[in-house]
Amino acid sequence: MSRFQLEDFPLLETSPTSAAGLRAKLGEMLISSTSARIKIESVNPQTGEYRIVLQGTLDVEKTPFDRA
């Protein structure tokens, strides 16, 4: 899996985004984070619509593999 970089944040809001593409980018972000938490803001049982807030700290320290 690739490392998530600060420059990747605008890609998360690109529309339309497939669920698979979003899952991959969010996975990269979580793996590249030193901490993460989620807050459920709302869930609508009738429509299935939900709103979540993901908050964390991205590990911005470079590893030797990132310098290639």
Tokens 């593999």 identify what position? 65
The pLDDT of residue 15 is 67
Q: pLDDT band at residue 3, thresholds of 50, 70 and 90?
A: confident
Residue 49 phi, psi dihedral angles, 5° rounding: -70, 140
The pLDDT of residue 27 is 92
- Look at residue 66 and tell me whether its pLDDT is greater than 80: no
Query: 38 forms bridges with which residues in the sheet?
Result: 54
Predicted confidence (pLDDT) per residue in 4-60, tens digit: 888 888 888 886 778 888 888 899 999 999 999 999 999 999 999 999 999 999 998
